Amino acid sequence: MSDLVFGLDTFGDVPEDDSGAPVSYAAAIRQVVDEAILADEIGVDVLALGEHHRPEFSVSTPETVLAGIATRTSRIRLSSGVTVLSSDDPVRVFQRFATLDALSHGRAEVILGRGSFTESFPLFGYDLSDYEVLFEEKIELFARLLEEKPVTWSGTVRAPLENADVFPKTESGRLTTWVGVGGSPQSVVRTARFGLPLMLAIIGGAPERFAPYIELYRRAAEELGTIAHPVGMHSPGFIADTDEEAREVFWPRYRVMRDRIGALRGWPAIRREEYDREIESGSLYIGSPETVARKIARAVAALGVGRFDLIYTAGTQPISARLRAVELYGTKVIPMVRDILAG
Amino acid sequence: MATRDFELGLNSFGEVASDGGRTLSDAETVRLIVEEARLAESVGLDAFSVGEHYREGHNDSATPVLLAAIATATDRIQLGTSVTVLSTNDPVRLYQEFSTVDAISNGRAQVVLGRASATESFPLFGYDLTDYERLFEEKLELFMRLQREDSVTWSGTVRAPLVEQRLHPRMRPGGIPTWIGVGGSPDSVVRAARYGLPLMMAVIGGRPQRFAGHVELYHRALEQFGHPAQPVGQHSLGLVAETDEEAIETWWPYWQPLVAQLARERGFYKPTRERYEAELDQGALFVGSPDTVARKIATVARDLRLSRFDLKYDILHLPRDARARTIELLGREVAPRVRELLAKEPIHV
């Protein structure tokens, strides 16, 4: 278990400053850069940034922020989480991440997904009814681009390519590429079909209920004759010095965010009991380093995953509390999880 | 204009360098560009700009990603493009990308929008070259509205419509400095004036002074459209070395094949030695000793009333040492000399 990979994941939520006022978007982006530099120093393995097109989040172009992080860090892997491939162009995505890979001496990773939000579809002129065909065709084209040879391709979702060679080329010859999946068995099978590693978004309920997806991924890879890579999971959480502090800093701000998004999706308002239950037995990794480490170790062992990414922001959690959460994750939680799993 | 305001910058097209006879990989070249931008800042240059190309040997296909990396490697230098191919980009993504670069760089982002002289991006991204004009016109209108307005409702023929769209991350109020890059088309000059945007002229062959008519037209048009005066800049190719001879002989074996290729692809002039010497002497090549290059820049700055000059210092396979020396000499020797020359005989706009 020593090769277990630990990541931090954020969408660049706009935080509060010390007076409780939201900072500017520009300051929110620079905050992510500062947190990444800290994470790199204290031994976090991966920093992942999600692509969103909503006012709560400052990151709409993860690779641009990751490039800013690349020149200030030396070890941490730089990932998206996720890149909404369906509403982007695979050629551009490849170019941007190959450039990031060069800038970071091979530390770039892209996690391709369909996105759990849908804002990018109208924004970039795509129809939600094409959700399936957009992802299917684009991932197929992206898989071809990953070979780094001239590509001839035609389909319905972008202009055809005829012997198109795309630059820059990577040093390793292959850009690290994952597929992010929320809960669709079909997406799991597709990921296995392309022989790509699987990142599961587990954002509510007991993590154990995702075991069948991992089993499906392994079985599908075996049947299709592709490689089943170690599976990753990403879940939300927050760490403070005590359980109580973590819960109380997170709750009011999380609640606002959760209810705003819930309103769009027809969810009832979240109650405190649900919040506490998610912390006890669900998918909120909130508490002191000991509490969070025990919970992560349990989930990792139950699912047999090779990577755990903590989404450490969900709402306007203040800058100082965020930095402390990053620090505790790197300096305390990660070594504790390793100890528990080795024990 | 005060001479201290005269700005000197560098342009890179992401071109692969060599080192001791070895061609660098794409990735090594990408990292070299970041180092060169850092060097440019350390020798006091004002701006570093990266192009956008889609052909072998060029590693600037993701311009904003490169600029973001440079942003955290530097503190002061302005970060721009040379040019961003607006016609085949989406103004919405561009807004997001440049807003992000501006955030990371603490407000140092600029953009030069152009139609591009290379056309690879059209088939690569599924655009038709016959729509060249309409693509640029509509996208410029949208990009400027996204920068200047809070929430935008827009419809046109070149992308999906927007309804009360507010983009994130928000750019600074009013947007970032946005220039229009022109190659030689009077229509493009008038368009820049119509939007009240500064003008960057790509002068890559022939006497720069033949652009005087364009500059005249630009200033007259700005006035007619009721906009205040705007800066005019020039982008040209060149190399600086200790002596004229060294610079001329270093540049020639890299310049000759480049122009030969452009002659085949785009009907450029034939790169004879005679033509080379004419370009050095009277034309658009800024190749020579610091003194020669400084005099040449000061002369065009006066003749064309420029407030900015950008030197494109990379050319396919040029040794990294020669690139570094150009940057050092441009910052340490050429820039102060140009300012001295312009102080003696100021530019009157």
Residue in A closest to B162 by C-alpha: A123
What token pair was written down for A201? 């978004």
Q: Tell how strand B232-240 and strand B199-202 pair up.
A: parallel
Q: Is the pLDDT of residue A128 over 70?
A: yes
What token pair was written down for A284? 């909120």
Q: Is the pLDDT of residue B4 over 80?
A: no
Task: Give yes or no for a contact between A330 and A38, defined as CB atoms under 8 angstroms apart.
Answer: yes
Q: A95 in contact with B at a CB cutoff of 8 Å?
A: yes
Q: A30 in contact with B at a CB cutoff of 8 Å?
A: yes
Q: A67 in contact with B at a CB cutoff of 8 Å?
A: yes
A110 contacts in chain B (CB < 8 Å): none
**ipTM score:** 0.97
Amino acid (1-letter code) at residue B124: L
> What is the pLDDT at residue B3?
45
Using the beta-carbon criterion (under 8 Å), do B65 and A65 form an inter-chain contact? no
Using the beta-carbon criterion (under 8 Å), do B103 and A58 form an inter-chain contact? yes
In A168-187, the residues whose Cβ lies within 8 Å of chain B are: 168-171
Percent of chain B with pLDDT over 70: 98
A52 contacts in chain B (CB < 8 Å): 168
Distance, in angstroms, between B311 CA and closest chain A CA?
23
SS3 assignment for B208-275 = HHHHHHHHHHHHHHHHHCCCCCCCEEEEEEEEECCCHHHHHHHHHHHHHHHHHHHHHHHCCCCCCHHH
Residue in B closest to A172 by C-alpha: B27
Best of B50, B168, B171, B316 to disrupt the A interface (most A CBs within 10 Å) is: B168
Task: Give yes or no for a contact between A203 and A283, defined as CB atoms under 8 angstroms apart.
Answer: yes
**Residue appearing with tokens 């909130």:** A286
Least reliable range by pLDDT among A313-322, B241-250, B257-266: B257-266
Q: Give the separation between CA A196 and CA B259, rounded to whole angstroms.
A: 44
What token pair was written down for B129? 């070259």
Q: Is the pLDDT of residue A2 over 70?
A: no
Residue in B closest to A171 by C-alpha: B27
Using the beta-carbon criterion (under 8 Å), do B69 and A71 form an inter-chain contact? yes
Using the beta-carbon criterion (under 8 Å), do A61 and B97 form an inter-chain contact? yes
- The mean pLDDT value for A216-225 works out to 98
Residue B346 pLDDT class (50, 70, 90 cuts):
confident
Residue A1 pLDDT class (50, 70, 90 cuts):
very low
For the CA atoms of chain B, what is the radius of gyration?
Answer: 19
Q: Which of A29, A89, A92 sits opposite B103 (nearest CB)?
A: A29
Residue in B closest to A31 by C-alpha: B104
* B272-304 confidence digits (pLDDT tens): 999 999 999 999 999 999 999 999 999 999 999
Task: Give yes or no for a contact between A307 and A5, defined as CB atoms under 8 angstroms apart.
Answer: yes
10 Å CB burial of residue A235 (0-12, 13-18, 19+) is buried
Using the beta-carbon criterion (under 8 Å), do B64 and A64 form an inter-chain contact? yes
Nearest to B296 by CA among B219, B209, B233, B218: B209
B2: left (phi > 0), else alpha (psi -120 to 50), else beta? beta
Residue B268 pLDDT class (50, 70, 90 cuts):
confident
Residue in A closest to B71 by C-alpha: A68
Distance, in angstroms, between B85 CA and closest chain A CA?
13
Residue in A closest to B38 by C-alpha: A71
10 Å CB burial of residue B217 (0-12, 13-18, 19+) is middle
Q: Is the pLDDT of residue A105 over 80?
A: yes
Number of H helices, E strands in chain B: 12, 14
- The mean pLDDT value for B240-245 works out to 98
Element (H, E) at A177: strand A176-181
Nearest to A233 by CA among A276, A203, A196: A203
What token pair was written down for B246? 């060294």
B268: left (phi > 0), else alpha (psi -120 to 50), else beta? beta
> What is the pLDDT at residue A116?
80
> What is the pLDDT at residue B115?
84
Q: Give the separation between CA A283 and CA A281, rounded to whole angstroms.
A: 7
A141 contacts in chain B (CB < 8 Å): none
Count of CB atoms within 10 A of residue B266's CB?
Answer: 10
What token pair was written down for B170? 């928000």
> What is the pLDDT at residue A222?
97
Q: Give the separation between CA A341 and CA A172, rounded to whole angstroms.
A: 32
Residue in A closest to B55 by C-alpha: A167
Using the beta-carbon criterion (under 8 Å), do A61 and B162 form an inter-chain contact? no
Query: Does the model's pTM come out above 0.90?
Result: yes
Q: Tell how strand A83-84 and strand A108-113 pair up.
A: parallel
* B168-223 confidence digits (pLDDT tens): 999 999 999 999 999 989 999 999 999 999 999 999 999 999 999 999 999 999 99
Nearest to B283 by CA among B200, B203, B201, B202: B203
Residue A223 pLDDT class (50, 70, 90 cuts):
very high
A111 CB-near residues (< 8 Å, 6+ apart): A48, A79, A80, A81, A82, A83, A177, A178, A179, A180, A199
Q: Give the separation between CA B331 and CA A285, rounded to whole angstroms.
A: 53
Mean of all residue pLDDT scores within chain B: 95
Using the beta-carbon criterion (under 8 Å), do B103 and A30 form an inter-chain contact? yes
Using the beta-carbon criterion (under 8 Å), do B69 and A67 form an inter-chain contact? yes
> What is the pLDDT at residue A52?
97
- The mean pLDDT value for A151-168 works out to 98
Q: Phi, psi (5° rounding) for residue B232? A: -120, 135
A53 contacts in chain B (CB < 8 Å): 167-168
Task: Give yes or no for a contact between B246 and B213, defined as CB atoms under 8 angstroms apart.
Answer: no
Q: Is the pLDDT of residue B2 over 80?
A: no
Concatenate the DSSP letters of all residues of B41-106 into one string: HHTT-SEEEE----STTB--TTHHHHHHHHHHH-SS-EEEES-EEGGGS-HHHHHHHHHHHHHHTT
Using the beta-carbon criterion (under 8 Å), do B169 and A124 form an inter-chain contact? no
Q: Is the pLDDT of residue B1 over 70?
A: no
Percent of chain A with pLDDT over 90: 97
Task: Give yes or no for a contact between B17 and B313, defined as CB atoms under 8 angstroms apart.
Answer: no
Using the beta-carbon criterion (under 8 Å), do A123 and B92 form an inter-chain contact? yes
> What is the pLDDT at residue B349?
54
Distance, in angstroms, between A149 CA and closest chain B CA?
12
Using the beta-carbon criterion (under 8 Å), do A25 and B69 form an inter-chain contact? no
Distance, in angstroms, between B43 CA and closest chain A CA?
20
Residue B267 pLDDT class (50, 70, 90 cuts):
confident
Q: Give the separation between CA A207 and CA A299, rounded to whole angstroms.
A: 6
* A67-86 confidence digits (pLDDT tens): 999 999 999 999 999 999 99
* A41-74 confidence digits (pLDDT tens): 999 999 999 999 999 999 999 999 999 999 999 9
**Furthest C-alpha separation in chain A:** 59
Task: Give yes or no for a contact between A251 and A314, defined as CB atoms under 8 angstroms apart.
Answer: no
* A227-242 confidence digits (pLDDT tens): 999 999 999 999 999 9
Q: Which of A30, A52, A67 sits opposite B65 (nearest CB)?
A: A67
Q: Phi, psi (5° rounding) for residue A112? A: -90, 140
Please state, in angstroms and as integers, the Cα–Cα distance from residue A35 to each residue in A107, A117, A149, B276, following that order: 17, 25, 37, 52
Q: Is the pLDDT of residue B25 over 90?
A: yes
Mean of all residue pLDDT scores within chain A: 97
Please state, in angstroms and as integers, the Cα–Cα distance from residue B186 to each residue in A194, B58, B215, following that order: 51, 29, 10
Q: Is the pLDDT of residue B329 over 50?
A: yes
Q: Give the separation between CA B125 and CA B298, rounded to whole angstroms.
A: 40
A249 CB-near residues (< 8 Å, 6+ apart): A238, A240, A317, A318, A321
* B135-165 confidence digits (pLDDT tens): 999 999 999 999 999 999 999 999 999 999 9
